[in-house]
Amino acid sequence: MDVLSNFAGGLELALSAENLLFVLLGVSVGMMVGVLPGLGPAPTVALLLPITFGLDSTTAIILLAGVYYGAMYGGTITSVLLRIPGEAASVVSTVDGHEMAKNGQAGRALGLAAIGSFIGGLVATACLILFAPALADFALSFGSPEYAVLALLGLILVSYTSAGTMTKSLIAVGIGLILATIGQDPMTGGSRWALGVPALLDGIDEVAVIMGLFGLSEILNNVADNRRRRSSIRNVGRVLPTGRDLRENAGAIGRGSVIGTGLGLVPGGGGVLGSLVSYGVERKVSATPERFGRGAPQAVSGPETANNSASISTFIPLLTLGFPPNGVLAVIFGALLIQGVTPGPTLIADHPEIFWGVVGSMVIGNVMLLIMNIPLVPLFVKIAEIPPEVLAALTVAILIVGAYSINGNAFDVGVMVAAGIAGYLLRRLGIPPAPIVLAFILGPIFETNFRRSLILSDGSFGIFVSSPVTVVLLIAAMTVLASAVLPKVRRARETIEAED
């Protein structure tokens, strides 16, 4: 009953005029971002951070969450019609989705993806409602060693699931952790590596770093593509799926919901991993696997369901453990900190309005997206044709103004620019930005709990294997490391990646 009444309260909060407006704004921006190739949900959420400064904390997170799951819906449109994934989680749909479009079934692909995403979104939201409070209660028993080991596991998992070799992702983690040490020592409050610069005494502003690493580096990375033009399939056809379509895809949508929801909980997981695994599973269980790659509807409905459900279930570790499992959630973590709210096990008890308001908004947002998706496809195709140079110029202007608006000083703009140029060069060296951001955000938490644990144990590292929770987490971390290092397992992983 508690859960139901809390959920009803959350729905009521999300249905207030202001929040309803920001749900609509969030999912609309998310759809556009999903449609526009080259600007993923993480850079956009980073771009929108300055806009949230003046908002109530619940409204701010409602807006940013809407952008994230809205992008999952939007990404399908360009994948199917243009064969260009608007964002990474929709890569899988470029194959079968576009094949369906070439066969005059674009509307069918988009309709199935929209309905699958809607169902997946609701399943993940239900899990958020049912399991998040229990997980938060469990996490209340965590001490410093558990948090330190959890941070370690999270960073290892994020490195494991990032693109490229794990060594490079771990280097990215190292860079993020080092950057996080600049400024105030989190335990003594003393200055560390401020280099006599007053603006560095409080450390590097995380919003400026995030905007640079995700936003500016993305723009610089794509700047050479600015004159490229795209052609699209304009004949969308019937979007609403038939009863037969739904029956044939019910299994794929059901499996996609479970896979996406589960993988969203894993650090480093989220939409990309969910859609890839769902595609692999659908091909394995299909009676006609030879149709995959030639326009199989289940190859669109399953992965698209999985990426949306994963984008919602990723909020469970953030809102219960205070642990951002991927880059987008790291930005939302930063947004909560700016609002004076520390994500963690006490968030649901201390700020129920944020948790239940966001949950309520997810239900409403998914309904809005379903309604918008089907009739507005032609409009979003037009958005995808916005000249990239216009988008790039607008983004650069927003980045400069947004970084300036953090504290009203130009130093943050300099930090954003430096992070952007460094991020661009690191990307070209194969070092991904997401682990840098996650490590930068998690760095102070990791350091504080690591040092506190050592003080508690009088310098004994045995404290990190002193409880069942830390042992399980360490075994998981070691297993992940071993699977990346052992050649046999590594080759198998590479084969799976190549197949996907």
Q: Which of residues 438-497 bind other proteins (CB under 8 A)?
A: 447, 450-451, 454-455, 458-461
Site string for other proteins, 179-198 (x = CB under 8 A): --x---x-xx-x-xx-----
Look up residue 458 and give its two tokens.
Answer: 């009088």
- Any contact of residue 285 with other proteins (CB under 8 A)? no
Residue 225, classed as helix, strand or coil, is helix
Q: Which is nearer to other proteins, 273 or 439 (CB)?
A: 439
Among 226, 342, 466, 467, the residue binding other proteins under the rule CB under 8 A is 226
∠ CA(357), CA(363), CA(364), 5° rounding? 85
Report the candidate in 315, 375, 340, 352 with the shortest Cα–Cα distance to residue 127: 315
- Any contact of residue 429 with other proteins (CB under 8 A)? yes
Report the chain's terminal Cα–Cα distance, integer Å: 44
- Any contact of residue 392 with other proteins (CB under 8 A)? yes
Q: Which of residues 53-92 bind other proteins (CB under 8 A)?
A: 53-54
Which one of 50-58, 234-242, 290-298, 324-332 is the stretch in contact with other proteins (CB under 8 A)? Answer: 50-58
Which one of 19-27, 108-116, 176-184, 305-313 is the stretch in contact with other proteins (CB under 8 A)? Answer: 176-184
- Any contact of residue 233 with other proteins (CB under 8 A)? no
- Any contact of residue 160 with other proteins (CB under 8 A)? no
Q: Which is nearer to other proteins, 395 or 470 (CB)?
A: 395
Q: Cα separation of 188 and 472, whole Å?
A: 31
Q: Cα separation of 123 and 69, whole Å?
A: 14
- Any contact of residue 243 with other proteins (CB under 8 A)? no
Which one of 17-25, 48-56, 73-81, 477-485 is the stretch in contact with other proteins (CB under 8 A)? Answer: 48-56
- Any contact of residue 35 with other proteins (CB under 8 A)? no
Look up residue 356 and give its two tokens.
Answer: 């239940």
Q: Which is nearer to other proteins, 52 or 311 (CB)?
A: 52
The secondary structure of 247-305 as a DSSP string is HHHHHHHHHHHHHHHHHHTSTT-SHHHHHHHHHHHHHHH-S-GGGTTS--THHHHHHHH
Who's near 234: CB < 8 A, 6+ residues apart? 81, 378, 381
Q: Cα separation of 196 and 355, whole Å?
A: 41
Who's near 399: CB < 8 A, 6+ residues apart? 47, 211, 212, 215, 216, 219, 416, 420
**Residue indicated by tokens 């642990």:** 323
Conformation bin of residue 38: beta by default, left when phi > 0, alpha when psi is -120 to 50: left
Among 359, 383, 413, 484, the residue binding other proteins under the rule CB under 8 A is 413
Question: Which stretch of DSSP H or E encloses residue 145?
Answer: helix 144-161
Among 15, 24, 194, 223, the residue binding other proteins under the rule CB under 8 A is 223
Binding residues for other proteins, total number by CB under 8 A: 63
Q: Which is nearer to other proteins, 287 or 498 (CB)?
A: 498
- Any contact of residue 199 with other proteins (CB under 8 A)? no
Phi, psi of 398 (to 5 degrees): -65, -40
- Any contact of residue 138 with other proteins (CB under 8 A)? no
Interface residues with other proteins (CB under 8 A)? Answer: 50-51, 53-54, 163-165, 167-168, 170-171, 174-175, 177-178, 181, 185, 187-188, 190, 192-193, 216, 220, 223-224, 226-227, 389-390, 392-394, 396-398, 400-401, 404-405, 408, 410-411, 413-414, 417, 420-421, 424-425, 427-430, 447, 450-451, 454-455, 458-461
